[in-house]
Amino acid sequence: MKFDVTSFNTEGLSAAKKDLFAELDTDVLCLQETHKTTAPLKIPGMNLVIFHGSPVHGSAIYVRDRTTVKGSSDHSANGLEILRVKTDKLTITSVYKPPTVPFKWPQDLPANDGAHLVIGDFNSHSTSWGYGNTNKDGELVEEWALDKDLLLLNRAKDKPSFHSARWRRGYNPDLAFVSSRHRQNFQRSVGNPVPRSQHRPITVHLTPVVSPTTNSKPRPRLNYHRANWEAFTADLETGIEDVDPTPESYDSFQRLVWKTAKKNIPRGCRKQYIPGLTVTSKEIYTRYINSYEVDPFAEETIDLGENLLASLSDTRKERWQETIDELDMTQNSKKAWSTI
Domain ranges of the chain: 3-206, 221-339
Nearest to residue 7, comparing CAs of 183, 188, 168?
A: 188
Cα dihedral sign, 147-151-155-161: negative
Q: What pLDDT does residue 101 have?
A: 96
pLDDT digits (tens, 9 = 90+) for 25-42: 899 999 999 999 998 888
Q: Is 204 helix (H, G, I), strand (E, B) or coil?
A: strand
φ/ψ of residue 25, rounded to 5: -90, 70
Are the C-beta atoms of 60 and 96 separated by less than 8 Å? no
- Bridge partners, residue 190, by sequence: 202
Geometric angle at alpha carbon 266, from 260 and 270, rounded to 5°: 145
pLDDT digits (tens, 9 = 90+) for 169-192: 788 899 999 999 999 999 999 998
Question: Is residue 17 very low, low, confident or very high in pLDDT (cuts 50, 70, 90)?
Answer: confident
pLDDT digits (tens, 9 = 90+) for 215-237: 656 677 888 888 999 999 999 99
E strands, the chain, are 3-9, 28-32, 47-52, 59-63, 69-74, 81-87, 91-96, 116-121, 150-152, 162-164, 169-171, 174-179, 186-190, 202-206, 221-222, 267-268
Are the C-beta atoms of 8 and 26 separated by less than 8 Å? no
Nearest to residue 109, comparing CAs of 118, 100, 101?
A: 118
pLDDT digits (tens, 9 = 90+) for 94-108: 999 999 999 999 988
Mean pLDDT confidence for 129-144: 94
Are the C-beta atoms of 263 and 233 separated by less than 8 Å? no
pLDDT digits (tens, 9 = 90+) for 46-87: 999 999 999 999 999 999 999 999 999 999 999 999 999 999
Are the C-beta atoms of 302 and 295 separated by less than 8 Å? no
For residue 280, pLDDT beyond 70: yes
Q: How far apart are CA 29 and CA 23, in angstroms?
A: 12
Q: Is 3.40.50.150 the CATH number for 3-206?
A: no
Q: How far apart are CA 224 and CA 188, in angstroms?
A: 37
| Strand 28-32 relative to strand 3-9, pairing | parallel
